[in-house]
Structure 1
Amino acid sequence: MSVAEPRRIVLFRHAKADWPPVTDHERPLAERGRKDSAVAGLKLADTGIPFDLALCSTATRTRETWKIAVQEFPHRPKTVYEERIYEASPGELIALLNEVPDDAQNVLLIGHNPGVQGLTEVLSGSADEDARERMSSRGFPAAAFAVLSFDGTWKSLEPGVATLLDYWAPTE
């Protein structure tokens, strides 16, 4: 993989979770979350991005979202379950992405709000106006994802260097 080729990051919020009497970290997906995970997986596959690496929070709802969504992919990327994604701030998520090996061109991060939306906003120095408008009007609901692109190494990823290329959220 050449550093001259733009890198892509897809920031994917877990699907709708249920509220059983368990810790927040152990909350499973709701029925709607399972359905939305499959639809999001199809939409992610439709982007045509050949993901090299998926970084997934260790929370139950993110692991379940990923397990369902990845079934729609033409090939399964290497997956790393990373506890630092849970409750991470945008700055903490950037620090994590700075550790990604440079042979990974396209990375999918499956996480939580407000971190995922905040990271999208912090990284996006520019944007496709249609994608920006859709994200502004919808926010970042469960199972939404944003596609960003940037030039350089993962260590050079910092606020404002990326372009928001696309945004998708399930219908209400």
Structure 2
Amino acid sequence: MKTLTLLRHAKSGWDDLVSRDFDRPLNPKGQRAAAMMGRHLRSLKLHFGHVVASPALRVIETLDHVSRGYGSVLAPDWDQRVYLASAATLLDVIHDLPADAGEVLLAGHNPGLEELILLLVPEGGALRDEVEIKFPTASLAQLHFAGEWTDVRRGAAELAFFVRPRDLDPTLGPDTP
């Protein structure tokens, strides 16, 4: 069985004056949420044989804060294809994962990550319904697949969990600074 954990970057700072979207940093709430999600990954005793991520600054900073909470450095393969990728492009990235990687962390952006989950997980089920409502910043979802990465296709995944920062700390919800 293959396990794919998806991580959306944490909340970024729209107030920062940067010339490119690619260079937007995290805001303080995003930094807190990312560290908390790292602690949550550690509490679940998850380990990743491979990490692939968008090279956008907000993803780099998210993984840095997740690593701090996780207690171990996550050393991703930075893949430009993941930056603002569609579900179809993310599926190509998944098909290209190393065959020997059993547990993979993929860090990127919406709407692609949310659309990927909705593509891969069959309709029905409370968790999928929650993802369909919204896959917020710094959220985690874990998918399980039978077979190889090259076999991953529409409706082939089991959604094992979906966790939003506010599920772990209500102060990280949408109505708090």
TM-score w.r.t. the length of structure 1 is: 0.89
**Structure 1: tracts of 5 or more residues without a match:** 1-5
Aligned sequence identity (%): 32
| Partner deviation per Cα, 1:80-114 (whole Å, 9 max, x = no partner) | 11111001100100001111111100101100000
Give the structure 2 partner of residue 108 of structure 1.
105
Does the CA-based 8 Å contact 2:35-2:70 persist in structure 1? no
Q: 1:132 aligns with which of 97, 121, 128?
A: 128
- If each structure's strand is expressed as a fraction of its own residues, which one has the higher value? 1
Equivalence map 1:9-48=2 (5 Å)? 9-19=4-14, 20-22=16-18, 23-48=20-45
Does the CA-based 8 Å contact 1:146-1:164 persist in structure 2? yes
Give 1:77 deviation, angstroms.
4.8
| CA–CA distance in structure 1, aligned partners of residues 110 and 17 of structure 2 | 21
| CA–CA distance in structure 1, aligned partners of residues 26 and 128 of structure 2 | 28
Judge which range, 67-76 or 77-86, deviates more.
67-76
TM-score w.r.t. the length of structure 2 is: 0.87
Does the CA-based 8 Å contact 2:142-2:159 persist in structure 1? yes
Give the structure 2 partner of residue 141 of structure 1.
136
Tell me which amino acid in the other structure corresponds to 1:71. R
SS state at 1:125 partner: coil
Query: CA RMSD of the aligned region, Å?
Result: 1.6
SS state at 1:72 partner: helix
Tell me which amino acid in the other structure corresponds to 1:13. R
| Partner deviation per Cα, 1:106-144 (whole Å, 9 max, x = no partner) | 1011000000111111111267x343354345x111101
Tell me which amino acid in the other structure corresponds to 1:36. A
Does the CA-based 8 Å contact 1:126-1:163 persist in structure 2? no
**Structure 2: tracts of 5 or more residues without a match:** 167-172
| CA–CA distance in structure 2, aligned partners of residues 132 and 67 of structure 1 | 28
Give the structure 2 partner of residue 62 of structure 1.
59
Paired residues in the alignment total 165
